[in-house]
Amino acid sequence: MKKMFPKLFEPGQIGTLRVKNRLVKAPQTTGLSNKDGTVTQRLVDHYTHLADGGAGLVIVEYAYIDDIASKSCHCQVGISSHEHIAGLGWLADSIKNHGAKAGIQIEHCGRQRFLGPPMKSASPIPWPMLYDQFHTIPEELTIDEIQVLIEAFGDAAKRAVDAGFDLVEIHAAHGYLITNFLSPFTNKRGDWYGGSRENRFRFLRQIVENCRKKVGPDFPLTVRLSGTDYEPDGMTIEDTIYYAKELERLGIDAFHISGGDHHTMIHQVSPMAMPVCYNVWAAEAVKKEVHVPVMASGSITLPQYAEDILEQGKADFITLGRPMWADNEWVKKAMEDRPEDIRPCIRCNEGCLQRSSFLGRTVMCAVNPVLGFEEDLAIKPAETKKRVVIAGGGPAGMEAARVLKLKGHDVTIYEKRKLGGYLHEASAPEFKEDIRHLIDYQIHQIEKLEIPVICEELTPEMVKAGGYDAVISAVGAEPVIPPVPGINGENVINALTILDSHPEIGRKVVVVGGGMIGTETAIDLAEKGHEVTIVEMKDAIMADCAVTDIIAYYEKIGRNRIAVIPGLRVTEVTDQGVRGVNDRTGRRTELPADSVVIAVGLKPRHAFYDTLAGEPDLEVYEIGDCVKAGKILDAFHTAYKTAVRI
């Protein structure tokens, strides 16, 4: 028995399936399949690395069940045809060859079809985001079409069995087609499949009956349900408990409980502004009413959270989505009693959602540049050992140092302030706690690898005199100071200073700049009791934020009564506040303020790199914010991909 997390590593049972521990890789789309849904080498590499990481069960991302309208997004894996079986068998066997049980999730996307028409649903109610994009209203499924889909789900489940999977999960959560029937928010039908709770459940009941008939009585069959879709007049936890009880009677072997849909995305893929373990309450509610295992899901980022959930009897299994993308060895490290070595998911949604799903790219992770490139970007020993010095100990500098040390190089970091760089400012608000875990992880890696850290500024002269083979500039960026009269007044302070040293400021505050830094600073100040106004020159604030942050931050802005004035260019700062002009209308505005906070962006520090570039017999590199002021994803990716080539 492991001393730190004993509950996590107890064996478990899902129907007839014996699972070696209580940790499950939750299904998440990767975009790593071929366009026709067939399996690729990249997809197999991805899942074998996950299986190597120690999870008892790996559930492959949702697979579309027909070739009409069930496919949700680009390069999604398919299970709609007999021709998919060969590749799926390769995938299932590869997962099992690496020590995990293999499951697969089957689904129809319903109204959440990122590929545009044809789009089918229970009722012609669009998801606003896709309506804005495609101007498509979902077609209401006819009775005949429903019968065809019921058969398609059963056929897909049978293909999974034939391919060698150990378990099939029916996706009835997150706003996909089955949820479109289950939720009164999206089901306005007047026939057998609409109206009462019993009628809304009919579609799922018939799907389960068909799947069970085709996979046999003993094959493990599970269902994923949203505890609630968090929609007005939507599906309630009482609905979900009813559905779960009925499904148990039909022979379902376990329930995977999460919440939300794409319209209420912050409840489905909760950002760091939301509480951790966000939908565990729903798993607990279902577990009290059923007699089969329940899997808890959603923002369970750290092993201690998972252990507590099991210890308190809130669930029987823990499913990990984003956390196992951030670190595929999450399970192995927890099992070896070294949680400090787990690279934590910070729930930024920047790579996995914003830059991959929404842009039609393959999966990415802000803190794990290897994701999706598990073989291509693997760390390999360097052919020639080099002496490398790194200027700057922020996230980019520390990640580069870690990779270089693992490759066998001699590495030294110079950091004049403290390890972590601007991560300290980024993690200052209470709702940014996830980043503090990332700082702890990175510093621990530097200490564990015994990488020297010298607490002073590295100069070009020191590099030239140091006999180094390579130097990496990771000196970051500095605040932009707009050329505005009064900008140096005593009542003016930079946002980074606010977040770093928390100086005394007045009660009434105007924040100039509505990007991520300005918005987060404004919310932090408002939650501490200040009266805050955000002024932004663009037509909208948060242009550089992930969509889930935008939704969560707008809720905080409303709750804290923060005034937002877009389209206003500040022309002067005075002792009494700011003056500005709307460049479209020419209207001039004066805003009174005790303190003015400047947050108009960052500019890269190029001077260090430029001074050394071209120096003979010296390799010179630039990473992180000093390449281009960006986000944590940019820091980690530029650092890793540079260091792995040295």
Residues 302 and 396 in one domain: no
Q: Could you tell me the residue range of the domain that residue 169 belongs to? A: 7-357
Kindly report the CATH number assigned to the domain that includes residue 119: 3.20.20.70
Helices and strands counted in the chain (H then E): 21, 27
Evaluate whether residue 372 is within a structural domain.
no
Mean pLDDT of 49-73: 97
Mean pLDDT of the chain: 96
- Helix (H, G, I), strand (E, B), or coil: what is residue 459? coil
Evaluate whether residue 2 is within a structural domain.
no
Mean pLDDT of 542-555: 94
For residue 50, pLDDT over 60 is answered with yes
Residues 346-385: tens digit of each pLDDT: 999 999 998 887 778 899 999 999 999 999 999 999 999 9
Residue pair 111/130 in contact (Cβ under 8 Å)? The answer is: yes
- Helix (H, G, I), strand (E, B), or coil: what is residue 9? helix
pLDDT of residue 133: 85
DSSP secondary structure of 334-384: HHTT-GGGS-------IIIIIIIITTT-----SS-TTTT-TTTT-----SS
Residues 110 and 145 in one domain: yes
**Half-sphere CA count of 116, side-chain side, radius 13 A:** 5
Q: How many CB atoms lie within 10 A of CB 159?
A: 26
pLDDT of residue 360: 82
Residues 535 and 566 in one domain: yes
Mean pLDDT of 427-432: 96
Region of 26 please: left (phi>0), alpha (psi -120 to 50) or beta: beta
Evaluate whether residue 379 is within a structural domain.
no
- Output the six-digit token pair for 75: 């390069």
Residues 507 and 632 in one domain: no
Kindly report the CATH number assigned to the domain that includes residue 473: 3.40.50.720
| Dihedral (CA of 139, 143, 146, 151) sign | negative
Residues 538 and 391 in one domain: no
Residues 440 and 540 in one domain: no
DSSP secondary structure of 523-539: HHHHHTT-EEEEEESSS
Evaluate whether residue 377 is within a structural domain.
no
Do strands 588-592 and 577-581 pair parallel, antiparallel, or not at all (unpaired)?
antiparallel
Residues 227-253: tens digit of each pLDDT: 999 999 999 999 999 999 999 999 999
- Helix (H, G, I), strand (E, B), or coil: what is residue 63? strand
Where residue 225 falls among pLDDT bands split at 50, 70, 90?
A: very high
Mean pLDDT of 468-474: 98
Where residue 584 falls among pLDDT bands split at 50, 70, 90?
A: confident
Q: Which residues are catalytic?
A: 176
Mean pLDDT of 518-532: 97
pLDDT of residue 357: 76
186-211: burial string, b at 16+ Cβ within 10 Å, e else:
bbebeeebbeeeebbbbbbbbbbebb
Which residue in 81, 77, 88 sits closest to 66, CA to CA? Answer: 81
For residue 1, pLDDT over 70 is answered with no
Whole-angstrom distance, CA of residue 260 vs CA of residue 249: 25
Q: Which of 569, 585, 600 is the last residue of a domain?
A: 600
pLDDT of residue 2: 57
CA angle, 153 as apex, 150 and 158 as ends, to 5°? Answer: 130
Overall domain count for the chain:
3
Max Cα–Cα distance, the chain, nearest Å: 82
Q: How many CB atoms lie within 10 A of CB 571?
A: 15
Residues 222 and 154 in one domain: yes
Residues 422 and 540 in one domain: no
For residue 387, pLDDT over 60 is answered with yes
Kindly report the CATH number assigned to the domain that includes residue 574: 3.50.50.60
Residue pair 476/625 in contact (Cβ under 8 Å)? The answer is: yes
Evaluate whether residue 589 is within a structural domain.
yes
364-395: burial string, b at 16+ Cβ within 10 Å, e else:
bbbbbbbbbbbeebebeeeeeebebbbbbbbb
Whole-angstrom distance, CA of residue 206 vs CA of residue 228: 22
Could you tell me the CA-to-CA distances from 292 to 206, 220, 222, 244, 254 in Å, in that order? 20, 12, 10, 10, 5
Residues 87-102: tens digit of each pLDDT: 999 999 999 999 999 9
Evaluate whether residue 485 is within a structural domain.
no
Residues 326 and 422 in one domain: no
Whole-angstrom distance, CA of residue 326 vs CA of residue 323: 5
**Half-sphere CA count of 638, side-chain side, radius 13 A:** 23
Whole-angstrom distance, CA of residue 486 vs CA of residue 380: 54
- Output the six-digit token pair for 424: 């300290």
Q: What percent of the chain has pLDDT over 70?
A: 100
Evaluate whether residue 373 is within a structural domain.
no
- Output the six-digit token pair for 362: 């393959």
**23 Cβ neighbours under 8 A, 6+ residues apart:** 8, 54, 55, 56, 57, 306, 317, 318, 320, 330, 331, 334
Residues 475 and 521 in one domain: no
Q: Which of 584, 600, 616 is the last residue of a domain?
A: 600
Residues 523 and 612 in one domain: no
Residues 145-185: tens digit of each pLDDT: 999 999 999 999 999 999 999 999 999 999 999 999 999 99
Residues 247-279: tens digit of each pLDDT: 999 999 999 999 999 989 999 999 999 999 999
pLDDT of residue 356: 82
Evaluate whether residue 145 is within a structural domain.
yes
pLDDT of residue 35: 96
Residues 51 and 128 in one domain: yes
